[in-house]
């Protein structure tokens, strides 16, 4: 990936935001690297939009520091921040045509007419809207509007681009297509991008790194694959991918589930209560006779099997009443081991797939 | 500006929850001041033209003619028969006019709400146009129509229905007819707006359940239209209490209403204390009625809300 | 809401309703129509329909120095009221719409106070105040008083325009490099200008038709048209007033049509 010369890192420190007395962001710290595509992922109400608005300068934090490059910008007015922004509803100017929408930031900067025309043309090319400059905004489809908003946000070569759920108003097919295009555009231009979504698939598809937000805090900041493989909190484990949890205890340097020792690949954490993350696709159906050295075995009662064509999902209940879910492909060797609902069943989990997170 | 940057740099070095708090607070205050600056010319004007004079008049009303501090200006309302008569007349007119507005306005608003949109918007012009026509013009029109040698009387005499002209203007009936005409749009417009929000599916459901048109109207539509009707009624009633032009021109000196009394006391007799006291009571009654209405509606609205 | 009649009740079943509603509409509109027709009568008597037609009442109106002066005063005051109330009301509506000030409710109540306070009280109060600062019988005094009465209409109209406008557009404009003022003028203003024009028209009509306050604070050189009409009506019924009334009705129709056209384009 080429880092555009104008791309700058962002450092956020101790951001606090309250609406009235309700805290929305609490002592939030986040570093975005220059040229990085970073996604804020979290459930609705977790404070993603608020953080983005604070970055853009539309909402004032109660405390905190935002440094772009070396400069503190927390009190800089929005029009001096040089940050491109794409809103969820695009916020195109309906009284201007596509050309004038995209030329707007250039006009504010006093760019000459000839250069403006050239740069708008280039931006239209980038978002694949060649020749649509004279269209009125209300003559565009949703996808085209999205592209105009994007072109407008990047035409002035901002240091940073912010996007708040920009694809959520598009239908599924178009959304997936735009995800790939946005990603390609980012690769090409390399601007520092902060992207907001509540859709984990979208985040995983597009991002260099993902900051998972919950209740106004960042729970974990990591690469998409690490978030999945090594969630650090129960929230992250349940928000990214599917999981069941069982309580385990660390004592004397080993991990115990009830009276059974759990094999782990990683070093055993400090003594205390933890939760073991059980991903449905990491569990295996074990035949009773199978040797189990180095594999954690969970004995349960099968409650239901749902076939989904190429794969199936098993639901089982542990002795303590907790639910377990297992997903696997419909291979004949697997199907051969399958007991009937109501019968005992053994699930295996390899030591290297064993994840422990702190109990919330 | 330079000092502020210095403060920011100093703060930026220090970690902790109160990073840049001071600079951000200053910024917030500056933003509030900007908004206040946008508001202040309007607020100043309203303050100077409405709050200051009314406050001043209220102060004056607390002194008697000799300049002593007393409640004489208010006590007079209960003692002098002429004042009591004014209040009685005013409330009588207000009740009659409000009643007439309801009787005429409810069917009209109901019809408008049931008409197709195009027809309704054409009919609405006939409501809005008088609304924006000068009160004087409309009062004059009714004088022309109702007076002794006016249109109604000459028609009726020509038709041989009556031999002596009826006295329609320059008395209570003239005032009531004129005021009803002028205030009717104030009832129809909010009532129509609220009727438009009544869900037709609700009514359809009622009819599907076997209720006839009359029952559907009585049990579903009418109760749902009551808040709109109530707000129209309150507006009309309150405007009646302080109405001046029509009673002054069409009352023939026989219908002495509150606002006219205020005008006479101040302009004719220059008794500011007494006039001010009348104004203060009028304002209090107006605000009390509006407040009561708000409170009732608010209580009702939350009642509906919690029952969901 | 469907385009058609809301309920499966036929128009025929509703006939009585249409008759009643039609009569009320007639009651509302007939006086204006009668006045317009009478204004072309040749007679000093109030006959309807008139026996002979003429423009003599219009000639009296336009030929009379007094009526003409009063009309000019009213027009001047109305135009100045529009010029003052529109920007002030728009600025206030903008600030209220932001909704971030602590006393937003109080501010709202204050700005719409002149709709609630009985006009007679405003009239007496203004007269009382002006007597002390020498503003009675002045154009300035009239403009200030009318501005206060027109403000709530401008504020409410512009506010409704702003409420249906997406403030994110102004935000986006700011992020694209426009300062506060530039963002307002280039992005917000073009989209709420129809509301602003409507507000201005309402301000004009409010001032031009204002009677009660003008009765108290105008006089002599600055007698407004409405004050002169009021006094004329107190004395006797002069058919000239029919001609003036017709002009006022036409003015209302024109201004309302303009507001309507602007509103539809919006
Ligand atoms: N202007 C505001 N006033 C009061 N509360 C707000 C405001 N904006 C956001 N909030 C609250 O802040 C929380 C976070 O909101 P938001 O940042 O929009 O979350 P997200 O974008 O993650 O869905 C929500 O609980 C929301 O109700
Ligand atoms: Mg959001």
- Whole-angstrom Cα distance, residue C158 to residue A24? 32
Residue listed under structure tokens 């109160």:
B18
**Ligand 1 atom having least distance to the Cα of A40:** 22
Residue B12: pLDDT over 70: no
Q: Whose CA is nearest to atom 20 of ligand 1?
A: A45
Sign of CA dihedral B187, B189, B192, B193: negative
**Lookup: tokens for B265:** 């006391």
Tell how far the Cα of B166 is from the centroid of ligand 2, in angstroms: 71
Strands A284-286 and A295-307: unpaired
Counting Cβ atoms within 10 Å, is residue B60 exposed (0-12), middle (13-18) or buried (19+)? middle
Angle between helices C15-38 and B117-131 (to 10 degrees): 40
The reported pLDDT for the residue numbered A291 is: 67
Residue C45: pLDDT over 80: no
Residue C186: pLDDT over 60: yes
Alpha helix positions (H), A198-323: 200-206, 224-229, 234-239
Identify all chain B residues contacting A63, using CB atoms and an 8 Å cutoff.
Answer: 17-21, 24
Q: What is the pLDDT of residues A329-353, one digit of tens each?
A: 888 887 777 888 888 888 888 888 8
The reported pLDDT for the residue numbered C263 is: 67
Judged by average pLDDT, the poorest of A55-59, C47-51, C198-202 is C47-51
- Pseudo-torsion of CA A134, A135, A136, A141, nearest 10°? -160
Give B260's pLDDT tier (boundaries 50, 70, 90).
very high
Identify the H or E element spanning A304: strand A295-307
The whole-number average pLDDT for the span C110-132 is 92
Are the Cβ atoms of A60 and B9 closer than 8 angstroms? no
Identify the H or E element spanning A11: strand A10-19
**Ligand 1 atom having least distance to the Cα of A50:** 17
* A107 Cβ contact list (under 8 Å, min separation 6): A116
The whole-number average pLDDT for the span A83-88 is 92
For residue A30, the SS3 value is strand
Residue C132: pLDDT over 80: yes
Residue A311: pLDDT over 80: yes
The reported pLDDT for the residue numbered B10 is: 43
Give C14's pLDDT tier (boundaries 50, 70, 90).
confident
- Whole-angstrom Cα distance, residue A247 to residue A275? 5
Identify all chain C residues contacting B272, using CB atoms and an 8 Å cutoff.
Answer: 128
Tell how far the Cα of A269 is from the centroid of ligand 2, in angstroms: 36
Which residues are in the CB-under-5-Å shell of ion ligand 2? A 49
Identify all chain A residues contacting B26, using CB atoms and an 8 Å cutoff.
Answer: 75
Q: C176 phi and psi, to 5 degrees?
A: -85, 0
The reported pLDDT for the residue numbered A217 is: 93
Give A55's pLDDT tier (boundaries 50, 70, 90).
very high
Judged by a CB distance cut-off of 8 A, whether residue B46 touches chain A is no
Judged by a CB distance cut-off of 8 A, whether residue C166 touches chain A is yes
Alpha helix positions (H), B115-171: 117-131, 135-146, 151-158
Are the Cβ atoms of B20 and A67 closer than 8 angstroms? no
Give B11's pLDDT tier (boundaries 50, 70, 90).
very low
Give B117's pLDDT tier (boundaries 50, 70, 90).
confident
> What single-letter DSSP state applies at residue A238?
H
> What single-letter DSSP state applies at residue C144?
H
Residue B55: pLDDT over 50: yes
Residue B199: pLDDT over 80: no
CATH superfamily label, A245-357? Nucleic acid-binding proteins (2.40.50.140)
The reported pLDDT for the residue numbered B305 is: 33
Are the Cβ atoms of B11 and A75 closer than 8 angstroms? no
Identify all chain B residues contacting C18, using CB atoms and an 8 Å cutoff.
Answer: 111
**Ligand 1 atom having least distance to the Cα of A22:** 5
Sign of CA dihedral B205, B206, B211, B215: negative
The reported pLDDT for the residue numbered C257 is: 87
Nearest CA in chain C to A101: C173
Judged by average pLDDT, the poorest of A89-103, A271-285, B42-56, C75-89 is A271-285
- Whole-angstrom Cα distance, residue A41 to residue A352? 27
- The H helix count followed by the E strand count for chain C is 13, 0
Most confident of A162-171, B97-106, C113-122: B97-106
**Lookup: tokens for B37:** 């600056």
Structural domains of chain C, ranges and CATH numbers in brackets: 15-56 (no CATH), 61-265 (1.10.3720.10)
Site to substitute for ligand 1 among A26, A42, A47, most atoms within 8 A of C-beta: A47
Identify the H or E element spanning C18: helix C15-38
The whole-number average pLDDT for the span A291-318 is 86
Nearest CA in chain A to B4: A75
Distance of CA B109 to the CA centre of its chain: 18
Provide the percentage of residues in chain A whose pLDDT is more than 90. 56
Determine the straight-line distance between the first and last CA of chain B, rounded to whole angstroms.
Answer: 54
Are the Cβ atoms of B104 and C27 closer than 8 angstroms? yes
- Whole-angstrom Cα distance, residue A73 to residue A78? 9
* Bond prior to C49 in cis (omega within 30° of 0): yes
The answer to ipTM > 0.90 is no
The reported pLDDT for the residue numbered A265 is: 81
Residue B206: pLDDT over 60: yes
The reported pLDDT for the residue numbered B300 is: 54
Judged by average pLDDT, the poorest of A241-245, A256-260, A276-280 is A256-260
The reported pLDDT for the residue numbered C11 is: 66
Give B272's pLDDT tier (boundaries 50, 70, 90).
confident
The whole-number average pLDDT for the span B193-199 is 86
CATH top-level class of A10-234: alpha beta
The reported pLDDT for the residue numbered C28 is: 95
Fold classification of B88-257 (topology level) = MetI-like fold (1.10.3720)
Indicate the pTM of the whole model.
0.86
Give B8's pLDDT tier (boundaries 50, 70, 90).
very low
**Better pLDDT: B308 or A234:** A234
The reported pLDDT for the residue numbered A289 is: 62
Determine the straight-line distance between the first and last CA of chain C, rounded to whole angstroms.
Answer: 21
- Whole-angstrom Cα distance, residue B92 to residue B84? 12
- Domain spans of chain A? 10-234, 245-357
- Whole-angstrom Cα distance, residue B62 to residue B65? 10
Are the Cβ atoms of A65 and B11 closer than 8 angstroms? yes
Tell which of A26, A54, A62, A77 to mutate to test the B interface (max B CBs under 10 Å).
Answer: A62
């Amino acid at each position: 990936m080429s880092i555009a010369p104008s791309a700058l890192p962002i450092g956020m420190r101790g951001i606090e935001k309250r609406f009235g007395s309700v805290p929305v962001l609490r002592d939030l710290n986040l570093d975005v690297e220059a040229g990085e595509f970073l996604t804020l992922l979290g459930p609705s109400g977790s404070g993603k939009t608020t953080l983005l608005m604070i970055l853009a300068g539309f909402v004032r934090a109660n405390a905190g520091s935002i440094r772009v490059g070396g400069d503190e910008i927390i009190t800089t007015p929005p029009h001096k921040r040089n940050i491109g922004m794409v809103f969820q509803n695009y916020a195109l100017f309906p009284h201007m045509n596509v050309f004038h929408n995209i030329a707007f930031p250039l006009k504010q900067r006093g760019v000459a007419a000839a250069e403006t025309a050239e740069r708008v043309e280039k931006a239209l090319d980038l978002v694949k809207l060649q020749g649509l400059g004279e269209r009125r905004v209300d003559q565009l489809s949703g996808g085209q509007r999205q592209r105009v908003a994007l072109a407008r946000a990047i035409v002035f070569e901002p240091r940073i681009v912010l996007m708040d759920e920009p694809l959520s108003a598009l239908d599924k097919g178009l959304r997936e297509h735009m995800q790939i295009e946005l990603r390609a555009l980012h690769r090409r231009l390399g601007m520092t991008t902060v992207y907001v979504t509540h859709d984990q698939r979208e985040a995983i598809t597009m991002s260099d790194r993902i900051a998972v937000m919950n209740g106004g805090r960042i729970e974990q900041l990591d690469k998409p694959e690490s978030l999945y493989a090594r969630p650090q909190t129960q929230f992250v484990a349940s928000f990214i991918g599917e999981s069941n949890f069982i309580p385990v205890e660390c004592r004397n340097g080993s991990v115990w589930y009830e009276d059974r020792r759990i094999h782990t690949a990683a070093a055993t954490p400090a003594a205390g209560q933890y939760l073991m993350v059980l991903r449905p696709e990491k569990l295996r159906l074990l035949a009773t006779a199978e040797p189990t050295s180095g594999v954690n075995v969970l004995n349960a009662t099968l409650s239901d099997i749902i076939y989904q064509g190429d794969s199936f999902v098993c639901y089982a209940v542990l002795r303590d009443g907790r639910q377990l879910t297992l997903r696997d492909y419909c291979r004949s060797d697997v199907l051969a081991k399958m007991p009937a609902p109501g019968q005992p069943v053994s699930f295996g989990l390899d030591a290297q797939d064993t994840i422990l997170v702190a109990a919330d | 500006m330079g000092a502020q940057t210095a403060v920011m740099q100093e703060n930026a070095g220090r970690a902790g929850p109160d990073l840049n708090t001071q600079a951000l607070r200053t910024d917030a205050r500056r933003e509030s001041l900007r908004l206040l600056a946008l508001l202040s010319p309007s607020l100043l004007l309203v303050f100077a033209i409405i709050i200051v004079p009314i406050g001043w008049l209220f102060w004056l009303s607390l002194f008697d003619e000799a300049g002593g501090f007393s409640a004489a200006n208010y006590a007079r309302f209960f003692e002098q028969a002429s004042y009591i008569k004014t209040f009685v007349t005013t409330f009588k007119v207000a009740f009659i006019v409000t009643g007439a507005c309801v009787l005429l306005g409810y069917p009209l608003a109901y019809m408008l709400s049931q008409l197709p949109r195009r027809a309704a918007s054409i009919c609405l012009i006939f409501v809005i146009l008088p609304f924006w026509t000068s009160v004087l013009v409309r009062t004059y029109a009714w004088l022309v129509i109702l007076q002794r040698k006016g249109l109604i009387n000459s028609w009726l005499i020509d038709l041989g229905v009556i031999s002596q002209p009826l006295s329609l203007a320059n008395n209570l009936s003239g005032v009531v007819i004129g005021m009803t005409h002028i205030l009717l749009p104030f009832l129809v417009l909010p009532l129509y707006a609220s009727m438009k929000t009544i869900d037709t599916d609700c009514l359809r459901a009622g009819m599907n359940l076997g209720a006839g048109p009359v029952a559907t109207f009585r049990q579903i539509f009418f109760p749902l239209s009551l808040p709109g009707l109530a707000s129209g009624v309150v507006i009309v009633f309150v405007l009646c209490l302080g109405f001046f032009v029509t009673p002054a021109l069409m009352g023939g000196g026989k219908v002495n209403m509150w606002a006219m009394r205020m005008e006479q006391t101040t302009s004719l007799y220059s008794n500011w204390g007494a006039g001010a006291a009348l104004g203060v009571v009028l304002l209090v009654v107006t605000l009390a009625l509006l407040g009561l209405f708000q409170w009732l509606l608010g209580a009702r609205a939350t009642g509906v809300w919690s029952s969901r | 809401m469907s385009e058609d009649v809301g309920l499966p009740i036929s128009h025929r079943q509703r006939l009585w309703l249409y008759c009643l509603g039609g009569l009320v509409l007639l009651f509302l509109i007939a006086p204006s129509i009668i006045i317009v027709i009478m204004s072309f009568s040749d007679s000093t008597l109030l006959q309807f329909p008139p026996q002979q037609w003429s423009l003599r009442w219009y000639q009296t109106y336009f030929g009379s120095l007094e009526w003409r002066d009063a009309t000019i005063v009213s027009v001047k005051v109305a135009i100045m009221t529009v010029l003052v109330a529109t920007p002030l009301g728009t600025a206030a509506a903008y600030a209220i719409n932001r909704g971030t000030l602590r006393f937003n409710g109080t501010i709202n109540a204050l700005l719409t106070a002149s709709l609630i306070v009985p006009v007679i009280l405003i009239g007496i109060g203004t007269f009382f105040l002006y007597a002390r600062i020498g503003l009675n019988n002045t154009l300035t005094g009239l403009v200030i008083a009318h501005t206060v009465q027109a403000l709530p209409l401008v504020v409410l109209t512009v506010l409704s325009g702003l409420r249906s406008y997406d403030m994110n557009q102004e935000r986006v404009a700011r992020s694209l490099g426009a300062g506060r003022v530039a963002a307002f003028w280039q992005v917000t203003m073009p989209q709420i200008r129809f509301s602003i024009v409507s507000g201005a028209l309402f301000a004009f009509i409010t001032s031009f038709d204002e009677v009660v306050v003008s009765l108290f604070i105008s006089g002599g050189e600055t007698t407004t048209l409405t004050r002169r009409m009021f006094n004329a009506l107190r004395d006797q019924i002069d058919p000239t007033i029919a001609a003036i009334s017709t002009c006022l009705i036409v003015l209302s129709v024109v201004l309302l049509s303009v507001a309507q056209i602007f509103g539809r384009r919006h």
